[in-house]
Each structure stands twice: as structure tokens, then as C-alpha cells.
Amino acid sequence: MSVDPWALIALCALVTVAIKAAGPVALGGRPLPRRLTGVIVLLAPTLLAALVVTGVAGREGELQVGAEAVGVAAGGAIAWRGGSILVCVVVAAVLTAALRALS
Amino acid sequence: MSGARAGIDRPAFRRGLRAGIPFALAGGLLSLSFGALAVDSGFPVAAAIAMSAVVFAGSAQFAAVSIAASGGGLGAATVAAALMNSRFLPMGIALGPSLPGGPVRRGVEGQAVVDASWAMAARPDGSFDRSFLLGSTAVQYVTWVAGTVAGAIGADAIGDLDRFGLDAVYPTFFLVLLVAELRAGRGRGAAAGGALVALALIPLAPPGVPVLAASLVALAGVRRGARPAAGTDPHGGGRPR
């Protein structure tokens, strides 16, 4: 590895703290404009869907789909049927590992 | 800094703690793979643990370490982490009005935003249950650091993470949160739009940008205004079981 881990940690901590603080520092005490609440409600499903897609298909900036897509889909199906997140995550990992072991 | 608003609503905090436990356990599995990956990539064990303790943002940590491991520089790795975390900017803007006190205090409490807590603490009217959020994040922080300790120390024994399917943990974590939103009937179109935007940008943009760009899809909600509350439960439908 070419970089100093401690420098990387310090920089990552700095940008993370700044990003998380920005909204609350700028926008306290005032209610959000009514028009924006509709945006906020849609923000979570939008961001989560994007994180799922990039987590499954976006490895190192390329579109790739492998065994983990099957595992993740199975985890999602269990979640849809009301399973707990721990079960979903464990099934996803075990199924992915099994598919890799077989292939 | 007095008044009811500035204090912690203990029952809500405890509800947050309990609701956060399953996510904390799943997050522990995630941070276990982070710890192993970081040590595998050349991080000293102490550095891997320190990163989880002070950065506490899974996707950013994975992105920064992966880029550093593949020969990227300090700037590229930091920018990737910032981009992965850029979603916390709109999330913090949404949360801001629900935080009490002056700017410094609000900025400090804003550090408690993590995906699961933020999504679960959201009320249908666009405000947030701050005590619930703090409780949910507290338990997730503990397992995040503990999982990293286990992964970093056990990195040699764990070996290749993909062999155990641990790379499926991270997307599944977010998918479970998404399913809770979709089951409540919220934002199905926005979720589909966000997924498509992210998918289209993966080959074109650096890591982090597809997620940030996808968040713009939520602007489709701008004219609809506040939706009528589905029920009196402050976490109506948004809380996964």
C-alpha cells in the first residue's frame, strides 16, 4: 500500500465529520420548507436502492454481477417476507459462499 | 440549553437501542469483513480499529481502503470516502430541524447519522425522532468497533473474504432497509429511478458518484409536499422487524 494509513484515517475522519455536521449546523431550529418534506420522504428509498445496486454490481467502477447477487436477492426475499436482518444477512453470505464453492 | 426538547427522551432512546440491535449485529459482520480487508491491505491492526472508531461509515471505509490497496493515492482514497459519505449531506439537512441547541451541539449530534438509524427515526411528516436515532446509533457503534477488532485480529485466519460470501453482507444490509420502505408503500418509483441512475453511472463515474447522483431522483417529491401521516406511530411502517 502506497499511502500512510494514519494520514488516510485522519483525512477520512475529517471529511466525514464535516459532511455529517454541515446540514445540522446550517439548518437548526427552523422547520424544513413544506415543499421539501416530500423530497426527504423519497430520499431514503432512493439512496438505499442506489447503495444496493452499487454494492452488488459496481466493483472497482465496472458493472459486474456474480454469486453475491443471488445471495443478496435471497436476503431481500426473506426481508420481504418479514425475516430479521440478521437472518437475511447470514443467508445471503452462506448462499454466496456455497455458490462460489460449487462453481 | 434547558427545556424538554434538548433532553433525551429515555423511552424513545431505549426503543432506538432495541430497534438498532439487529442492525448492530449485521453491522458487526460487516465491520468484521472491513477489519480483515484493512489488515489484508496492509493496515496495522490498530489502524484498522482506529478507522472504524473515528470514521464510523462503512461504505466510506471500504471505498478508501480498497482504493489505497489498489495503489491509489491519499487524495483519491479520501475523495472516494467523501463521495460515499456525500449522502449524509442531504440526510443531515433533513435531520437538522429536529436537533436542538446551537450550531456546535447540532453538528455534534449530527455525527449520529448512520443509514439504519436515520431511516428508522424518520417520521412520516418529515421530522425525526432524535432520541430514537441516538439510541439506535449507540448500539450500532459498539458492534461496529467490536466487529472490526475481531476482523483485524483474525485477518490471517479469515483469509479470503469472498470465500465466506462476506461481500454479500453489505448490499444485503441496505436491501433490508430498502424493503422496509417499499413494504410501507413509500417511494417505489423513486427507488426504481435511483437504482437505474446508479446502474447507468457505475461504468462512467468514480465510486460514490452514482449514489450521490441517484439521490437527485428524490427531488421528484418536491411538489407533493408533506404526505398525510399513515398512522399515529411515529415510526409508522418505517421500522423493519
B59 neighbourhood in chain A, CB within 8 Å? 51, 55
Per-residue three-class SS string for chain B:
CCCHHHCCCHHHHHHHHHHHHHHHHHHHHHHHHHHHHHHHCCCCHHHHHHHHHHCCCHHHHHHHHHHHHCCCCHHHHHHHHHHHHCCHHHHHHHHHHHCCCCHHHHHHHHHHCCHHHHHHHECCCCCECHHHHHHHHHHHHHHHHHHHHHHHHCHHHHCCHHHHCHHHHHHHHHHHHHHHHHHCCCCHHHHHHHHHHHHHHCCCCCCCHHHHHHHHHHHHHCCCCCCCCCCCCCCCCCCCC
Indicate whether B142 pLDDT > 50.
Answer: yes
A49 neighbourhood in chain B, CB within 8 Å? 178, 190-192, 194-195, 198, 214
- Between B184 and B144, where is the model more confident? B144
Q: What is the ipTM of this complex?
A: 0.86
pTM listed for this prediction: 0.79
Q: Could you tell me which of A65, A96, A90 has the C-alpha nearest to residue A78?
A: A90
CB within 8 Å of chain A, chain B residues 85-104: 85-97, 99-104
Indicate whether B233 pLDDT > 70.
Answer: no
The pLDDT score that the predictor gives to residue B239 is: 40
Q: Which of B69, B222, B241 sits opposite A82 (nearest CB)?
A: B241
By C-alpha distance, the chain A residue nearest B193 is A46
Cα B136 to Cα B151: distance, rounded to the nearest angstrom: 23
Distance from CA of B157 to the nearest CA of A (A): 17
By C-alpha distance, the chain B residue nearest A96 is B165
Indicate whether A15 pLDDT > 50.
Answer: yes
Query: Can you tell me the mean pLDDT for B168-178?
Result: 88
Q: What band does A32 get if pLDDT is binned at 50, 70 and 90?
A: low
Amino acid at B33: S
Distance from CA of B136 to the nearest CA of A (A): 15
The pLDDT score that the predictor gives to residue A61 is: 65
B172 neighbourhood in chain A, CB within 8 Å? 71-72, 75-76, 88-89, 92-93
Cα B181 to Cα B237: distance, rounded to the nearest angstrom: 7
Domain ranges of chain B: 3-166
Indicate whether B68 pLDDT > 50.
Answer: yes
Q: What band does B236 get if pLDDT is binned at 50, 70 and 90?
A: very low
Q: Could you tell me which of B140, B83, B79, B142 has the C-alpha nearest to residue B115?
A: B140
A42 neighbourhood in chain B, CB within 8 Å? 186-187, 190, 217-218, 220-221
Cα B223 to Cα A93: distance, rounded to the nearest angstrom: 41
End-to-end CA distance of chain A: 31
The pLDDT score that the predictor gives to residue A29 is: 62
By C-alpha distance, the chain B residue nearest A74 is B172
Distance from CA of A66 to the nearest CA of B (A): 10
Among residues of chain B, what percentage have pLDDT more than 90?
46
Indicate whether B4 pLDDT > 60.
Answer: no
